[in-house]
Amino acid sequence: MTCYSQVIPFDFDWKFMEDAPGEAYAKQYDDKGWKDVSLPHDFIIERDFTGRNGLGPFLRDIKDSISTGNLPGGTGWYRKHFTLGKIAKEEKVEVVFDGVMVQSDVWINGHHLGFHPNGYTPFHYDITPYLNRNGGENVIAVKAVNTGDNTRWYCGGGIYRSVYLKRSATICFPVWGIQAKTRVEGNGTFVDLSIPVENNTKKTTAVKAAVSIIDHFGAVVSTSESTAKITAEGDTMHATCEIEDARMWSPDNPYLYKAVVKLSNGNRQLDEHEMKIGLRTLYFSSDEGFLLNGESTKLHGGCIHHDNGVVGAAAFMKAEARKVKTLKDNGFNAIRSAHNRPSKALLNACDSLGMFVIDESFDCWLEGKRDNDYHLYFEEWSGRDQAAIVECDRNHPSVLMWSIGNEIPGDQKPEGVEHSRRLAAIVKAYDDSRPVTDGVCSFPLMEGHVHDWLYDKYAALDIWGYNYRLREIAADHILFPDRIIVSTESFPREAYLNYRMEQMLPCYLGSFVWTGMDHIGEVGIGNAIYSSNPDERLAIPTRSWPWYVSFAGDIDLIGNKKAQSYYRDVVWDRSDIEIAVAPYKTGMYELVSKWGWFDELPSWNWQGHEGDTMTVRVYTKSSEVELSLNGRVIDRKPVMSDCVTAEFRVPYEEGTLTAIALSGGCETANKSLTTQSGPYRIELTAEDEYALNRQNEISYVRIRIVDRQGNIVPDATVPLTLEVSGGELLASGNGAPDDMRSFRSATPTTWHGSAIAVLRPTATGAMTLTVSAEGFSSAQATIEVLDKPRKAKYRQ
């Protein structure tokens, strides 16, 4: 059978130059001196301004430095030389971008394909007419512009997500065209497929679409066929596959099938599309809340921005998967991609690891939040961008709902209401199987409650997204009993109140804390300070140089738990008791920003504070706590019911601090913190069993300073030296919000006893990281590098 179908990875062997001449798009342009790069690539994070009013990629005195994390914008150029062999007359070739940050122009062989203004939305171009069809060289050029004042967080720059070529016959599936939906009727589980076919010839042609559903073991569990005569205008075919003994997708059991759809005309295979699918049913109501596969489910969510810490905005597959796994390991079952569409790599990770996603579109509409943000393009581009988001992402079982905006200026004006209806209608036109929401934090009020007038805005929406309106939910439920509510953003210190609310009201689906993980930009919104003036809390939302991190996350920039994550473990019944400690400063007030947390650690290592008073907070749902130090009872206190916290003042001395939780006078749980013997050795842990010898492959190695017993020493601040053989050091750093010197440095310092190294292989064999520090024996971690992946082991 003649076969035209091919998906060609397009991430390798690119050339890059910042601020290249304007004629760099030309096919004959000489790019021999350009830097060799692979995708994904964030060029902004790779700069070095050290000695030029900056430090590493950070630069002082730039516009909107608090938003961008002191990382300035710029213009990057990319070029790639490639051949495709001979291209037949009846073939079509498209280039598909998952995202280019921020505004992009693309050329092929000197021909301008188009401009795209949104760095988060996917787009594609038909490059067939401009290719060298006889097997000669082609050159694609991409210009990526980040003006530096286009978002309220660090967004990155360049081709920071993956690219591929789609090669097919001229009669083919449109990019992202096929849609699969789960349907359960009686005892049967079905996959209904909508299969659009475009016909770029002038002739009506008979075609067949053959569908196979394949399980995790590679066995075909269902097939179906559909035939049609496709005119020049194109048509949509339909097929249904019944799955016997279907395994349903959920966060607890993220089982994925593979759907393969082949398009043929006689003995010619015209196109083929493969995709992972998860079978699940979604039901939402104010009476029952959210039912997943018929089971009541609450959302324990975290908002995240798209950067990956020390690797910047680059959406490496392993970086995105690591982010999802870290959040899931710490109790989250949902993320909100704030405030933009996530990468395909992140959605794939959510599918396979089991994580719900609120897939969000925009942070502004007609009125901007920054001078050069998307409001400049919204009226012309929002319709096609919203459609592309839904088309591209609708087959991911992890996508739970669509959000058409976040805290949109002017959304309650008549034109805002109209755009709300328009965007919701676009979503429903491409996917009517999921609800639509919108994150709103400012409501017009009448008698203390949300005004009925807002129904004009929400008439087209299915779920009300409340940002920071927790205390209005119960009252609004009484006034509007049919309303389904989700907290699209919530404060960290309201975690327990949110939990109680979700247990009390079925209509309340759960909350998404701001944020699940730290991100670059929105500098210092999660910080805490000590002050003699309690009113100073009004002046602490942000920090300046050398801070570059938001610091509002449950998880820090390199993936470690912060104090609020331990608190959330108690709230979400993942732990019965946790302890956190901080020095108490007499006469001073600890002022914490709305998005912040107390400056505390789950540690009894406070050398230098001997005799000083410490604040000890014990988190538990039991009724009281008894605290002892080195066997002496310090005090017994009731647990504050609104925050599951008992707070103590304890003079510091080395030894063991023990908290015993009690209810009805009986012990329910206990926890101890013990002073450690001090830093003893460097411990390295490679997160991967092996790596593949590919340009876009990365591997993480955790670095910890531990004591003789192997426990991390949380107050260890140790300068390190990193060396790599068999690969390269792509990035490194720690979780400190203000340690610019360690960011992407080969000589980082540990913070709270920890650091991270990110390696990239350069050859098969072994890739070894060596870490040394004064006063310590060197440590090594070796990762095997293979040409192809090992066969996966599957466990039911």
- Rounded mean pLDDT, 519-532: 92
The mean predicted confidence, pLDDT, of the chain is 94
d(CA 502, CA 566): 20
82 has a pLDDT exceeding 70: yes
pLDDT band at 460 (very low <50, low <70, confident <90, very high): confident
Confidence category of residue 465, pLDDT binned at 50, 70, 90: very high
Q: What is the pLDDT of residue 399?
A: 98
Radius of gyration of the chain (CA): 27
Assign 447 a pLDDT band (cuts: 50, 70, 90). very low
Average confidence (pLDDT) over 623-633: 98
Q: Judge whether residue 791 has pLDDT over 50.
A: yes
Residues of the chain above pLDDT 90, percent: 90
Reading the block at residue 368, the tokens are 């901007």
Whether the CA torsion 536, 542, 543, 547 is positive or negative: it is positive
Token pair for 284: 């939402």
Instruction: Read off the tokens for 302.
Output: 């975290």
Across 607-630, average pLDDT:
97
Asked if pLDDT for residue 383 goes beyond 70, the answer is yes
Tokens of 50: 């050290």
DSSP 793: P
The answer, yes or no, to whether residue 33 has pLDDT greater than 50, is: yes
Mean local confidence (pLDDT), 47-67: 96
pLDDT at 446: 43
pLDDT 10s digits, 629-681 = 999 999 999 999 999 999 999 999 999 999 999 999 999 999 999 999 899 99
How many CA atoms within 13 Å lie on the side-chain side of 662?
14
- pLDDT at residue 453, rounded to an integer: 53
Half-sphere exposure (Cβ direction) of 276: Cα atoms closer than 13 Å: 18
Q: Burial, 692: exposed, middle or buried (Cβ in 10 Å; 0-12, 13-18, 19+)?
A: middle
Please report the pLDDT score of residue 158 as a whole number: 98
Distance CA 593, CA 172 (A): 54
Query: Mean pLDDT across the stretch 175-202?
Result: 96
- CA dist 316 and 474 (Å) reads 42
Residue 339 is predicted with a pLDDT of 96
Sort residue 477 into left (φ over 0), alpha (ψ -120 to 50) or beta. Answer: alpha
Q: Which of 618, 342, 621, 401 is nearest to 496 (CA)?
A: 621
Q: What is the pLDDT of residue 537?
A: 54
More confident residue, 628 or 413: 628
Is pLDDT at 554 greater than 70 in this prediction? yes
Sole residue written with tokens 């569990």: 221
Using CA atoms, how far residue 115 sits from 66, 125, 140, 579, in Å, is 29, 10, 14, 54
| pLDDT given at position 792 | 67
Which pLDDT value is given to residue 412?
A: 80
pLDDT tens, position by position, 677-694: 899 999 999 999 999 999
| Alpha-helical runs (H) found in 251-408 | 317-329, 344-353, 378-393
- The residue type at 583: P
Measured distance CA(204)–CA(198) in Å, rounded:
11
pLDDT of residue 795: 45
CA angle 160, 162, 167 (to 5 degrees): 145
**pLDDT band for position 796 (cuts 50, 70, 90):** very low
How far apart CA 773 and CA 767 sit, in angstroms, is 20
Least confident of 26-30, 66-70, 364-368, 532-536: 532-536
What are the tokens at 179? 């849609």
Confidence tier at 790 by pLDDT (50, 70, 90)? confident
